[in-house]
Chains A and B, each alone.
Chain A
Amino acid sequence: MQRLMRTATLAAGAVMLLPRASGADGPGEAKVGLPLDVSTEGHRIDALLHQTLVLVGLLFLGMLAWMAYALFRHRQGHSARFERGEGAAGKALPLGMAAFVFLVVDGNLFVKSSRDIDHVFWNFSAVESRPDALRIEVNARQWAWDFRYPGPDGRFDSPDDVITLNELKVPAGRPVVLQIGSTDVIHSFNLPNLRVKVDALPGSISRAWFQATRNGQFELACAQHCGTHHYKMRGLVTVLPEAEFQSWLAEAQAHSLRAFDELDESARWGWSWKDHRP
């Protein structure tokens, strides 16, 4: 399958859209393709991207062959065939092709994406019901990311919350559920290596979730134009082994009350967690 995909896409002239993972830390990496996937569910997206690439590559080749043959063989010297294509036989080809694309290419996309969206990516109640789910609140602002973990009281939006700037620390192997807002303009929370993207909107709260499969540092990007320094709205996701994460959180919680500043309005962006469990 890998080889078929490669030939088809290459031949399709889609230069180097090869389904090869390129490293998260980039430099020196010359390959072009999807960035490394470090999530439990990202493979669903990647597989659908690859399949569709193969299918549209084949359609493109068909189009190219048809055009090339017609234009090289049926030139001025060749007298035109008088046909209107209005008969039943004439309509069969366009309608048949349209049905083929709709049922096969679109059908594959629709069936798989609706399954993945309904059961996995946007199925928040299932994830939140898992006892090991970690909840984090995110605030996007020009041009930084704030993250909020509940303090020892276990509640959000209270003085003992742990707050980090531009660094999201999560454990590997546990689902992480995010609620995301913005305090100025629209941003978009984008974790390319975890295949997560959702807008951060002022006035409402968006949700996302992921589960990381390996330790390491990965980039968080803002995907929505949010002003002059949009391009610098970069954060980091640090995926830690469970024990290391626990000790970091305990340490941070121990100091969080001391870091709380009654007068700092801008730090009070939190909200009490919006529970979506059934």
Chain B
Amino acid sequence: MFEAKDLNVSIEGLVKLKGINLEVNPGELHVIMGPNGSGKTTLAMTLMGHPKYKVESGDIVLDGKSIRDLPMYERAKLGVFMSFQHPVEIGSLRYLTFLLEVLRKNGKTPDIDWIKRIFNKMGLSEAFLNRNVNTGFSGGEKKRAELAQMLLLSPKYAILDEPDTGVDVDSMKFIGGAISESLSRGTGVILITHYARILNEIGKGFYVHIIADGEIKAEGGPELAKKVEEQGFGE
């Protein structure tokens, strides 16, 4: 189980998250929705361990052990994955070189054919592997590549920060497919999204958490997501 326990987080001294509680079990899908600036990315970054996001109190627990004080890369190695809302472009590093090293560091045998297959599955041709990391990729291509990494790493828990924002209909299908596959492999997924559409694509049961002003304001099931999409976040 992956848990946030009464998390209070600040960025540069300003409080951004207040009393967040979350429990995610293997294979479960938890959807986080909320207006812009409400703290969704802050939550994702905090769970992943970005040093800029400071945990003032509360705990982050993975399978019964606190990972609150572990650096980001150790959390990653324990099986926590995050796909970024804005994946960075690294102009001098080939995607394939990057992936091979990442897989090696995560104790996986790097197999180029397998990497190619996963990329193809995400609708990305092999040519992307020879390009520099995310450099010149379209919005949708960046997000698909993020999820290709998720499929390669098979994390225990994946935090996906708006994988469906700014992507076309085709990308949406690939992304929905990757999430379904990960869920069925037992990955617990925290999905930050604005749209119910991706949820239809995944077509599975899920939990919804509504966040506003750094607090969880409402929780429920699919019906809550539907309501939010129809009526917005106003109470």
A and B interact = no
Chain A residues near B (Cβ < 8 Å): none
